[in-house]
């Protein structure tokens, strides 16, 4: 593993992405976002649907060209030298991109070859990952036979087969049951112990609060703030207790959480009263 203190594994610098809508107008989906993710850190992108999280991630992986700004993975510019930069990058996209022409095990081995990992080594890694993700007994099964949670786990396992230094997960736990989420969380903890830099986009506040060292709250393509979850709560919510009417006549008092910050910053009308 190559970890350098001088160069962050992932550095996003003034990334802007505009594209033309079918109407002919330009739409700025991502506006001048900048952040770094250190080795062993989990960095969260939190924002409502359509905030620009996925477009940002498509630019960070180099699949979309950036309108301006740069993305560096292990110091390599992902748009200028995508082959070198992406050698260090593992991605689990938001949509299911598993290759249904291969069974669970062969899928991982085949994917490893895209990173110049030979088949023998790929098999060893695949076996280890399937064990880690609790998919060992599914190795010879076709992908179609897996449940949604298993497919998601397999897609994250696939992102790790190349032993990347940067792991990008776009809403990895959307639609998963609590059990499947736990498995992913445990693996993430292990990855961070191994020094991976993790970029995570999510809708789940509890997940972001629990997993992320720092969070960027993103809305309408702009980063509104970057802080640790605790600092975000301290900065934006002054009340020690939040009162919420949860049923007619029943008022809950609870400490503020990340969701309150999120709703306040992204200006949702569904927010809690009085914040």
Partner 1 sequence: MKLPRSRQLPRPMRLPDSVWAIRCVWLRYFDVFRKSIFYYLVTTFSEPVLYLLSFGLGVGSLIGNLQVHGNSVSYRSFIFSGIIGQTLLFQGFFEASYGAFIRMYYQKIFQAMAITPITLSEVLWGELLWDAGKATVAAEVVTIMGVATGDFRPISLIAILPLAFLAALLFSGMGLTVAAYSKTIEQISYPQYLLVFPMFLFCGVFYPIENLPLAAQAVAWIFPLTSVVSLSRTITLGFPFEAQAVPLLLVWVVGLVWVSRSAMVRRLVK
Residues that bind partner 1 (CB under 8 A): 2, 4, 6-7, 17, 19, 29, 55, 58, 61-65, 74-76, 82-84, 86-87, 89, 91, 93, 95-102, 106, 110-111, 113-116, 162
Residue 112, helix vs strand vs coil: helix
Minimum CB–partner distance for residue 191 and partner 1 (Å): 18
* Least distance between partner 1 and beta carbon 246 (Å): 40
Gap between the terminal Cα atoms of the chain: 46
Rounded to 5°, angle at Cα 197 from 192 and 198: 85
Q: Kindly tell me which of 7 and 272 has the beta carbon lying closer to partner 1.
A: 7
How far is CA 209 from its chain centroid? 14
151 token code pair: 């497919």
The DSSP bridge partners found for residue 13 are 70
Which candidate, 228, 155, 166, 154, places its Cα nearest to that of 197?
A: 166
Torsion 210-223-220-237 (CA) sign = positive
Neighbours of 182 (CB within 10 A): 12
Strand partners, 166: 89, 197
* b/e 5-34 (16+ beta carbons within 10 angstroms → b): eebbbbbbbebbbeeeeeeeeeebbbbebe
Residue closer to partner 1, measured from CB, 19 or 252: 19
Distance of CA 81 to the CA centre of its chain: 22
Closest distance of CB 177 from partner 1, Å = 24
CB nearer to partner 1: give 44 or 52.
52
CB of 113 to partner 1, least distance (A): 6
Residue 8 vs 229, nearer CB to partner 1 = 8
Tell me whether residue 54 or residue 259 sits nearer to partner 1 (CB atom).
54
Q: Which CB sits closer to partner 1, 115 or 204?
A: 115
Smallest separation, CB 68 to partner 1 (Å)? 15
Nearer of residues 95 and 137 to partner 1, judged by Cβ: 95
- For the bound state, the minimum distance from the C-beta of residue 19 to partner 1, rounded and expressed in Å, comes to 4
Sequence-distant (6+) residues with CB within 8 A of 61 are 78, 86, 89, 91, 168
Q: Whole-number minimum distance, CB 228 to partner 1, in Å?
A: 27
């Amino acid at each position: 593993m190559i970890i350098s203190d001088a160069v962050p594994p992932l550095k996003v610098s003034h990334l802007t992405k505009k594209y033309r809508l079918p109407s002919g107008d330009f739409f700025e989906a991502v506006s001048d976002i900048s952040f770094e993710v250190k080795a062993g850190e989990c960095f969260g992108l939190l924002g409502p649907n359509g905030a620009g999280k996925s477009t940002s991630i498509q630019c960070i992986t180099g699949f979309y060209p950036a309108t301006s700004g740069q993305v560096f993975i292990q110091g390599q510019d992902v748009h200028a030298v995508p082959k070198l930069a992406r050698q260090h990058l593992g991605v689990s996209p938001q949509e299911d991109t598993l290759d249904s022409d291969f069974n669970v095990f062969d899928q991982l081995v085949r994917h490893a070859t895209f990173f110049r990992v030979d088949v023998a080594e790929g098999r060893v890694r695949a076996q280890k990952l399937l064990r880690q993700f609790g998919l060992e007994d599914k190795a010879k099964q076709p992908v179609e036979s897996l449940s949604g949670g298993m497919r998601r786990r397999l897609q994250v396992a696939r992102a790790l087969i190349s032993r990347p230094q940067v792991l990008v997960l776009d809403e990895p736990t959307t639609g998963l049951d609590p059990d499947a989420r736990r498995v992913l969380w445990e693996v993430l903890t292990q990855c961070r112990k191994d020094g991976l830099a993790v970029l995570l986009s999510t809708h789940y506040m509890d997940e972001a609060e629990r997993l992320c060292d720092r969070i960027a709250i993103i809305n309408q393509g702009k980063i509104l703030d970057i802080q640790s979850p605790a600092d975000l709560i301290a900065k934006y919510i002054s009340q020690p207790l939040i009162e919420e009417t949860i049923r007619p006549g029943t008022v809950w008092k609870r400490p503020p959480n990340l969701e309150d910050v999120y709703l306040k910053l992204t200006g949702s009308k569904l927010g809690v009263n009085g914040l």
